[in-house]
Structure 1
């Protein structure tokens, strides 16, 4: 599916949140918030796994929102170990719902890669405690949720976990501990590294299959 990309800014607790929207042609059926890896290790919204997930979301008819976390690109602030980043994404979600009510009334997919999984899981947990809408799907690739956890985590039983067999950043055993703690199944891609080198097509297919059920 073809898409157009537009730049937009939302307002976070530390100032502007630098974002792009990947907008599918035709009428969107909802939106996706796709969160990037560790800002202090080169993580940004242009990350290949983030863009792969975003393309899968667009293919599924969702507007994909790709923000830069604090201190990345034109986003204000400094790295805050997921605490400030989670607050910022909660602000972003509220602002998106007001600015794009038609898209926000549809399906909402929340996705993250690596550090972004921790922010995503904590955003989901916070929204679960509020009266507002919660995401219809939570997608976590290369899960590092517990490394940056600052609150209790509550994730849905149908959370989609995908991990590389030979992940050199977040070992498979660590991801399995998270999956076991939350009673979640996990898809393991054979011979895939943390960044899914040479496996992005497989990753995209897996994401598209999950989105087909949303």
Structure 2
């Protein structure tokens, strides 16, 4: 059985409460950081899309880290439009890698859903700017990067995987397409899927798993 534990890291606004989902394999091969949707609209680490992405990670032998953004659950602080949240996640990366050195030496992948895509994309960019180790894969589901972007420029790898519901009622497919055009990316569209991928979560898990599996083959 997979097991879950909670752990706290320290961000700019105080404690960041995280769930760690451990794979069944006795020696995990690395870790995944998975970021949840908008905190003011019910977004939290137990969101079904986030837990689906977590399952994709644990099935690959990765420890999945699911933080609650500031002001959600037991995490301190208040919603900060993506800016404070991005710096918090940079702190999570640094502190996780310090506390779990063996996992930090293994694989590292990054994913986000909706609001979490903006934080994930900007986190990747900050890691690149600071010449820190980069995730081997970046998965953005229901891409809303530009809605909460505060960085002047983004570093988006060519292997970034965008997956979007054809009938997304929260973030229109056209928004994801515009982001893809700006960064020369492809978009995987799931027919008849809405924003929360109801009825399509098993498919989403398989797609994310496949992309992360490809990422594990990269040396970044």
TM-score using structure 1 length: 0.98
2:210 is matched with: 209
Q: Is 1:79–2:79 an aligned residue pair?
A: yes
Q: Structure 1 stretches (4+) deviating beyond 2 angstroms?
A: none
**1:59-78 Cα deviation digits (max 9, x unpaired):** 01100000000100000000
> Displacement, 1:131?
2.5
2:20 is matched with: 21
Q: Is 1:112–2:117 an aligned residue pair?
A: no
Inter-partner Cα distance in structure 2 for 1:81 and 1:4: 32
SS in 1 for 2:146: helix
Inter-partner Cα distance in structure 1 for 2:177 and 2:145: 12
**1:1-51 Cα deviation digits (max 9, x unpaired):** x41100110101100001110011211111000000000000000000000
SS in 1 for 2:154: coil
Note the aligned Cα RMSD (angstroms): 0.7
1:130 is matched with: 130
Q: Is 1:197–2:198 an aligned residue pair?
A: yes
SS in 2 for 1:212: helix
Q: Is 1:60–2:60 an aligned residue pair?
A: yes
Inter-partner Cα distance in structure 1 for 2:132 and 2:140: 22
Inter-partner Cα distance in structure 2 for 1:68 and 1:34: 10
Q: In the comparison of the two structures, how many residue pairs are matched?
A: 213
Inter-partner Cα distance in structure 2 for 1:131 and 1:51: 30
